[in-house]
Protein backbone atom coordinates (compact mmCIF):
# COMPACT_ATOMS: atom_id res chain seq x y z
CA UNK A 1 0.00 0.00 0.00
CA UNK A 2 2.79 2.40 0.99
CA UNK A 3 6.41 1.90 0.12
CA UNK A 4 9.58 3.91 0.72
CA UNK A 5 12.56 2.96 -1.42
CA UNK A 6 16.16 3.80 -0.53
CA UNK A 7 15.06 6.95 1.31
CA UNK A 8 18.03 9.10 2.30
CA UNK A 9 18.31 12.46 4.04
CA UNK A 10 21.50 14.38 4.61
CA UNK A 11 21.51 17.60 6.62
CA UNK A 12 24.73 19.16 5.33
CA UNK A 13 27.38 16.66 6.43
CA UNK A 14 25.05 14.78 8.76
CA UNK A 15 23.57 11.57 7.40
CA UNK A 16 20.27 11.47 9.30
CA UNK A 17 18.69 8.69 7.22
CA UNK A 18 20.63 6.37 4.95
CA UNK A 19 18.92 4.40 2.18
CA UNK A 20 16.07 2.90 4.18
CA UNK A 21 13.41 0.63 2.69
CA UNK A 22 10.06 0.48 4.45
CA UNK A 23 6.67 -0.83 3.35
CA UNK A 24 3.20 -0.98 4.85
CA UNK A 25 0.58 -3.50 3.83
CA UNK A 26 -3.10 -2.66 4.28
CA UNK A 27 -4.36 -3.38 7.79
CA UNK A 28 -0.97 -3.81 9.43
CA UNK A 29 0.43 -2.15 12.53
CA UNK A 30 4.11 -1.69 11.81
CA UNK A 31 6.61 -0.51 14.39
CA UNK A 32 9.57 1.76 13.82
CA UNK A 33 11.77 1.28 16.85
CA UNK A 34 14.95 3.17 17.57
CA UNK A 35 16.81 5.23 20.17
CA UNK A 36 16.95 9.05 20.25
CA UNK A 37 18.46 10.49 17.12
CA UNK A 38 18.11 7.26 15.11
CA UNK A 39 16.37 9.14 12.31
CA UNK A 40 12.78 8.00 12.95
CA UNK A 41 11.14 11.42 12.70
CA UNK A 42 13.17 12.32 9.63
CA UNK A 43 12.16 9.03 8.01
CA UNK A 44 8.44 9.48 8.63
CA UNK A 45 8.69 13.14 7.65
CA UNK A 46 9.90 11.98 4.24
CA UNK A 47 7.31 9.22 3.98
CA UNK A 48 4.52 11.72 4.68
CA UNK A 49 6.04 14.28 2.27
CA UNK A 50 6.75 16.90 4.92
CA UNK A 51 10.52 16.60 4.40
CA UNK A 52 12.09 16.40 0.96
CA UNK A 53 14.44 13.41 0.71
CA UNK A 54 18.00 13.87 -0.52
CA UNK A 55 17.42 10.74 -2.61
CA UNK A 56 14.89 7.93 -2.71
CA UNK A 57 11.25 7.38 -3.58
CA UNK A 58 7.88 6.96 -1.90
CA UNK A 59 4.96 5.14 -3.50
CA UNK A 60 1.34 4.99 -2.41
CA UNK A 61 -0.64 2.35 -4.27
CA UNK A 62 2.12 2.38 -6.87
CA UNK A 63 1.80 6.14 -7.41
CA UNK A 64 4.82 8.40 -6.94
CA UNK A 65 4.16 10.46 -3.79
CA UNK A 66 7.12 12.81 -4.16
CA UNK A 67 5.94 13.95 -7.59
CA UNK A 68 2.34 14.01 -6.51
CA UNK A 69 1.93 14.48 -2.73
CA UNK A 70 -1.87 14.82 -2.95
CA UNK A 71 -2.27 11.12 -3.85
CA UNK A 72 -1.37 10.36 -0.23
CA UNK A 73 -2.30 13.51 1.66
CA UNK A 74 -6.04 12.85 1.93
CA UNK A 75 -5.52 9.22 2.94
CA UNK A 76 -2.88 9.94 5.57
CA UNK A 77 -3.03 11.15 9.17
CA UNK A 78 0.18 12.15 10.93
CA UNK A 79 0.51 12.49 14.70
CA UNK A 80 3.59 14.66 15.23
CA UNK A 81 6.13 14.02 17.96
CA UNK A 82 5.81 17.58 19.25
CA UNK A 83 2.31 18.41 20.45
CA UNK A 84 0.78 20.85 17.97
CA UNK A 85 -2.26 22.38 19.66
CA UNK A 86 -3.52 25.85 20.54
CA UNK A 87 -3.46 26.30 24.30
CA UNK A 88 -5.96 29.14 24.31
CA UNK A 89 -8.57 27.21 22.36
CA UNK A 90 -10.85 24.48 23.68
CA UNK A 91 -10.46 20.86 22.56
CA UNK A 92 -13.40 21.26 20.19
CA UNK A 93 -12.05 24.50 18.74
CA UNK A 94 -8.70 22.86 18.14
CA UNK A 95 -10.34 19.99 16.27
CA UNK A 96 -12.44 22.46 14.31
CA UNK A 97 -9.26 24.26 13.26
CA UNK A 98 -7.60 21.05 12.09
CA UNK A 99 -10.79 19.93 10.33
CA UNK A 100 -10.92 23.19 8.37
CA UNK A 101 -7.30 22.67 7.27
CA UNK A 102 -8.56 19.37 5.82
CA UNK A 103 -11.29 21.41 4.09
CA UNK A 104 -14.02 19.76 6.15
CA UNK A 105 -17.30 21.63 6.58
CA UNK A 106 -20.30 21.55 8.89
CA UNK A 107 -22.46 19.63 9.60
CA UNK A 108 -20.07 16.76 8.75
CA UNK A 109 -17.19 18.40 10.64
CA UNK A 110 -19.29 18.81 13.77
CA UNK A 111 -20.27 15.15 13.71
CA UNK A 112 -16.70 14.05 13.14
CA UNK A 113 -15.46 16.19 16.05
CA UNK A 114 -17.91 14.47 18.38
CA UNK A 115 -16.92 11.05 17.07
CA UNK A 116 -13.19 11.79 17.41
CA UNK A 117 -13.64 13.12 20.98
CA UNK A 118 -15.27 9.78 21.81
CA UNK A 119 -12.53 7.80 20.11
CA UNK A 120 -9.88 9.49 22.24
CA UNK A 121 -11.97 9.41 25.41
CA UNK A 122 -12.37 13.19 25.73
CA UNK A 123 -16.12 13.42 25.03
CA UNK A 124 -16.71 15.27 28.30
CA UNK A 125 -13.75 17.61 27.89
CA UNK A 126 -14.61 19.22 24.55
CA UNK A 127 -15.33 22.64 26.04
CA UNK A 128 -12.24 22.76 28.21
CA UNK A 129 -9.29 24.98 27.26
CA UNK A 130 -6.29 22.94 26.18
CA UNK A 131 -4.07 24.88 28.58
CA UNK A 132 -5.95 23.21 31.41
CA UNK A 133 -5.33 19.72 29.96
CA UNK A 134 -2.92 17.19 31.45
CA UNK A 135 -0.01 15.97 29.32
CA UNK A 136 -1.86 12.75 28.57
CA UNK A 137 -5.02 14.57 27.47
CA UNK A 138 -2.98 16.79 25.14
CA UNK A 139 -1.36 13.71 23.61
CA UNK A 140 -4.79 12.20 23.02
CA UNK A 141 -6.11 15.38 21.40
CA UNK A 142 -2.95 15.51 19.26
CA UNK A 143 -3.94 12.05 17.98
CA UNK A 144 -7.57 13.14 17.53
CA UNK A 145 -6.49 15.95 15.21
CA UNK A 146 -5.01 13.36 12.85
CA UNK A 147 -8.18 11.24 12.83
CA UNK A 148 -10.76 13.81 11.71
CA UNK A 149 -10.57 13.11 7.99
CA UNK A 150 -10.73 9.32 8.55
CA UNK A 151 -7.29 8.51 7.20
CA UNK A 152 -6.58 5.04 5.83
CA UNK A 153 -3.03 5.26 7.09
CA UNK A 154 -1.98 6.73 10.41
CA UNK A 155 1.63 7.58 11.16
CA UNK A 156 2.34 8.17 14.85
CA UNK A 157 5.62 9.66 16.03
CA UNK A 158 6.29 8.63 19.65
CA UNK A 159 2.72 9.30 20.79
CA UNK A 160 3.24 8.24 24.41
CA UNK A 161 6.37 10.14 25.41
CA UNK A 162 6.21 11.82 28.80
CA UNK A 163 2.75 10.79 29.95
CA UNK A 164 1.28 8.82 32.85
CA UNK A 165 0.84 5.03 32.51
CA UNK A 166 -2.94 5.31 32.40
CA UNK A 167 -2.98 7.67 29.42
CA UNK A 168 -0.34 5.54 27.80
CA UNK A 169 -2.49 2.43 28.08
CA UNK A 170 -5.44 4.36 26.76
CA UNK A 171 -3.45 5.40 23.69
CA UNK A 172 -2.18 1.87 23.06
CA UNK A 173 -5.73 0.52 23.25
CA UNK A 174 -6.95 3.29 20.93
CA UNK A 175 -4.32 2.31 18.37
CA UNK A 176 -5.43 -1.33 18.56
CA UNK A 177 -9.07 -0.32 18.25
CA UNK A 178 -8.50 1.93 15.21
CA UNK A 179 -6.69 -0.94 13.55
CA UNK A 180 -9.30 -3.58 14.38
CA UNK A 181 -12.50 -1.61 13.96
CA UNK A 182 -11.54 0.80 11.19
CA UNK A 183 -8.92 -1.40 9.51
CA UNK A 184 -6.55 1.52 9.75
CA UNK A 185 -2.99 0.84 8.65
CA UNK A 186 -0.61 2.22 11.26
CA UNK A 187 3.08 3.07 11.38
CA UNK A 188 3.95 3.39 15.06
CA UNK A 189 7.22 5.05 16.01
CA UNK A 190 8.65 4.58 19.46
CA UNK A 191 11.74 4.00 21.50
CA UNK A 192 9.76 1.86 23.95
CA UNK A 193 10.27 -1.71 22.89
CA UNK A 194 7.39 -3.01 25.04
CA UNK A 195 4.91 -0.81 23.12
CA UNK A 196 6.16 -1.95 19.75
CA UNK A 197 6.23 -5.54 20.96
CA UNK A 198 2.64 -5.29 22.18
CA UNK A 199 1.14 -3.49 19.18
CA UNK A 200 2.99 -4.39 16.06
CA UNK A 201 2.75 -7.19 13.52
CA UNK A 202 6.02 -6.25 11.88
CA UNK A 203 8.91 -4.16 13.14
CA UNK A 204 11.76 -2.11 11.74
CA UNK A 205 14.65 -1.40 14.09
CA UNK A 206 16.51 1.77 13.22
CA UNK A 207 19.84 3.01 14.50
CA UNK A 208 22.09 5.85 13.34
CA UNK A 209 20.09 6.45 10.18
CA UNK A 210 19.90 2.86 9.01
CA UNK A 211 17.47 -0.01 9.43
CA UNK A 212 19.48 -2.67 11.20
CA UNK A 213 16.76 -5.33 11.46
CA UNK A 214 13.25 -5.92 10.16
CA UNK A 215 10.60 -8.59 10.18
CA UNK A 216 8.00 -10.09 12.45
CA UNK A 217 8.75 -10.21 16.19
CA UNK A 218 9.64 -13.87 15.82
CA UNK A 219 11.95 -13.29 12.89
CA UNK A 220 13.74 -10.47 14.68
CA UNK A 221 14.17 -12.47 17.85
CA UNK A 222 15.59 -15.34 15.82
CA UNK A 223 18.51 -13.06 15.03
CA UNK A 224 19.62 -13.86 18.54
CA UNK A 225 21.57 -16.98 19.25
CA UNK A 226 19.97 -20.35 18.72
CA UNK A 227 19.80 -20.95 22.49
CA UNK A 228 16.97 -20.79 24.98
CA UNK A 229 17.28 -20.02 28.65
CA UNK A 230 15.29 -22.03 31.20
CA UNK A 231 14.89 -20.81 34.77
CA UNK A 232 14.06 -23.45 37.37
CA UNK A 233 13.01 -22.38 40.84
CA UNK A 234 13.96 -24.95 43.52
CA UNK A 235 12.69 -25.36 47.04
CA UNK A 236 16.29 -25.80 48.19
CA UNK A 237 19.68 -26.40 46.65
CA UNK A 238 20.24 -30.00 45.59
CA UNK A 239 23.80 -30.91 44.63
CA UNK A 240 22.85 -34.22 43.03
CA UNK A 241 20.26 -32.62 40.75
CA UNK A 242 22.80 -30.01 39.61
CA UNK A 243 25.34 -32.72 38.92
CA UNK A 244 22.91 -34.58 36.67
CA UNK A 245 22.26 -31.37 34.74
CA UNK A 246 25.97 -30.68 34.41
CA UNK A 247 26.62 -34.15 33.07
CA UNK A 248 24.20 -33.74 30.14
CA UNK A 249 26.12 -33.03 26.92
CA UNK A 250 23.06 -31.30 25.43
CA UNK A 251 23.05 -28.64 28.18
CA UNK A 252 25.42 -25.82 27.34
CA UNK A 253 25.42 -24.08 30.72
CA UNK A 254 24.11 -24.58 34.25
CA UNK A 255 24.18 -21.88 36.93
CA UNK A 256 22.79 -21.98 40.44
CA UNK A 257 21.94 -18.86 42.38
CA UNK A 258 19.47 -18.18 45.22
CA UNK A 259 17.61 -21.48 44.75
CA UNK A 260 17.28 -20.69 41.05
CA UNK A 261 18.94 -22.81 38.36
CA UNK A 262 19.57 -21.23 34.97
CA UNK A 263 19.97 -23.72 32.13
CA UNK A 264 21.01 -22.86 28.59
CA UNK A 265 20.15 -25.36 25.84
CA UNK A 266 19.67 -25.17 22.07
CA UNK A 267 16.21 -23.84 21.12
CA UNK A 268 14.95 -27.08 19.60
CA UNK A 269 15.54 -29.11 22.78
CA UNK A 270 12.52 -29.81 24.96
CA UNK A 271 13.95 -30.42 28.39
CA UNK A 272 10.94 -29.95 30.64
CA UNK A 273 9.83 -33.58 31.01
CA UNK A 274 13.40 -34.67 31.70
CA UNK A 275 13.86 -31.93 34.28
CA UNK A 276 10.97 -33.29 36.30
CA UNK A 277 12.24 -36.87 35.93
CA UNK A 278 15.70 -35.90 37.24
CA UNK A 279 14.13 -33.91 40.05
CA UNK A 280 12.11 -36.93 41.10
CA UNK A 281 15.17 -39.20 40.99
CA UNK A 282 17.15 -36.84 43.22
CA UNK A 283 14.21 -35.78 45.41
CA UNK A 284 14.70 -32.19 44.34
CA UNK A 285 11.55 -30.13 44.60
CA UNK A 286 10.83 -27.88 41.62
CA UNK A 287 8.61 -24.90 42.44
CA UNK A 288 8.44 -23.43 38.97
CA UNK A 289 9.90 -23.53 35.46
CA UNK A 290 10.08 -20.57 33.12
CA UNK A 291 11.39 -20.46 29.58
CA UNK A 292 12.72 -17.02 28.79
CA UNK A 293 12.48 -15.68 25.27
CA UNK A 294 14.70 -12.78 24.24
CA UNK A 295 13.24 -9.28 24.15
CA UNK A 296 13.64 -6.76 21.33
CA UNK A 297 15.93 -4.93 23.75
CA UNK A 298 18.22 -8.00 23.80
CA UNK A 299 18.25 -8.01 20.00
CA UNK A 300 19.13 -4.32 19.87
CA UNK A 301 21.92 -4.84 22.37
CA UNK A 302 23.19 -7.78 20.35
CA UNK A 303 23.21 -5.81 17.08
CA UNK A 304 24.61 -2.52 18.34
CA UNK A 305 26.37 -3.26 21.60
CA UNK A 306 24.27 -0.50 23.19
CA UNK A 307 21.01 -0.34 25.12
CA UNK A 308 17.94 1.04 23.37
CA UNK A 309 17.38 3.65 26.04
CA UNK A 310 20.20 5.81 27.30
Ligand X SMILES: Nc1ncnc2c1ncn2[C@@H]1O[C@H](COP(=O)(O)OP(=O)(O)OP(=O)(O)O)[C@@H](O)[C@H]1O
**From the list ligand X, Mg ion, none, partner contacted by residue 155 (C-beta under 5 to 8 A by kind):** none
Our finding on whether 222 is near ligand X (CB under 6 A) is no
Q: CB nearer to Mg ion: give 38 or 265.
A: 38
Our finding on whether 148 is near ligand X (CB under 6 A) is no
Helix and strand totals (H; E) in the chain: 11, 14
**From the list Mg ion, ligand X, none, partner contacted by residue 11 (C-beta under 5 to 8 A by kind):** ligand X
Our finding on whether 31 is near ligand X (CB under 6 A) is no
E strand intervals along 25-129? 29-33, 55-60, 63-64, 76-79
Instruction: Tell the smallest beta-carbon distance from residue 303 to ligand X (Å).
Output: 16
3-state helix, strand, coil in the chain (%, to 5): 35, 30, 35
Our finding on whether 234 is near ligand X (CB under 6 A) is no
Task: List contacts with Mg ion (CB under 5 A).
Answer: 40-41, 81
Q: Look at residues 42, 62, 61, 60 and name the one whose alpha carbon lies nearest to residue 52.
A: 42
Please state, in angstroms and rounded to a whole number, the distance separating the CA atoms of residues 19 and 5.
Answer: 7
Q: Which one among 18, 54, 81, 222 touches ligand X, defined by CB under 6 A? A: 81
Q: Which one among 3, 5, 18, 37 touches ligand X, defined by CB under 6 A? A: 37
Q: Which one among 40, 138, 202, 217 touches ligand X, defined by CB under 6 A? A: 40
Q: CB nearer to Mg ion: give 41 or 214.
A: 41
Our finding on whether 39 is near ligand X (CB under 6 A) is yes
- Tell me phi and psi for residue 230, to 5 degrees: -115, 130
Q: Which of residues 180-219 bind ligand X (CB under 6 A)?
A: 191
Instruction: Tell the smallest beta-carbon distance from residue 15 to ligand X (Å).
Output: 8
Q: Which one among 2, 4, 16, 91 touches ligand X, defined by CB under 6 A? A: 16
Q: Which of left, alpha, beta for 99 (phi over 0: left; psi -120 to 50: alpha)?
A: alpha
Q: Using alpha carbons only, how large is the chain's radius of gyration in Å?
A: 24
Please spell the DSSP secondary structure of 78-94, one letter per residue.
Answer: EE-SS----TTSBHHHH
Q: Which one among 38, 58, 232, 265 touches ligand X, defined by CB under 6 A? A: 38
CA atoms within 13 A on the CB side of 224: 21
Q: Which one among 6, 11, 100, 135 touches ligand X, defined by CB under 6 A? A: 11
Q: CB nearer to ligand X: give 38 or 263.
A: 38
Are 30 and 199 contacting, i.e. CB atoms less than 8 angstroms apart? no
**From the list ligand X, Mg ion, none, partner contacted by residue 14 (C-beta under 5 to 8 A by kind):** ligand X
Please spell the DSSP secondary structure of 90-119, one letter per residue.
Answer: BHHHHHHHHHHHTT--TTHHHHHHHHHHHH
Our finding on whether 36 is near ligand X (CB under 6 A) is yes
Please state, in angstroms and rounded to a whole number, the distance separating the CA atoms of residues 229 and 206.
Answer: 27
| Residue ranges in contact with ligand X by CB under 6 A | 11, 14, 16, 34, 36-42, 81, 191
Amino acid sequence: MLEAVELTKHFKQHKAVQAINVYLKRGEIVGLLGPNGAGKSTAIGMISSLITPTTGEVYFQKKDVLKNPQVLRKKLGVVPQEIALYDDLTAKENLEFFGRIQKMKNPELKEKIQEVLEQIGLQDQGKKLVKHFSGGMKRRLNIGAALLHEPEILIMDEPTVGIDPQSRNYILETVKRLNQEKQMTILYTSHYMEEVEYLCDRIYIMDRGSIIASGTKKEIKNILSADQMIQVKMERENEEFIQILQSQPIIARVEMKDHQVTIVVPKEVNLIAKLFKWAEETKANILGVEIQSPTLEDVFLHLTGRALRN
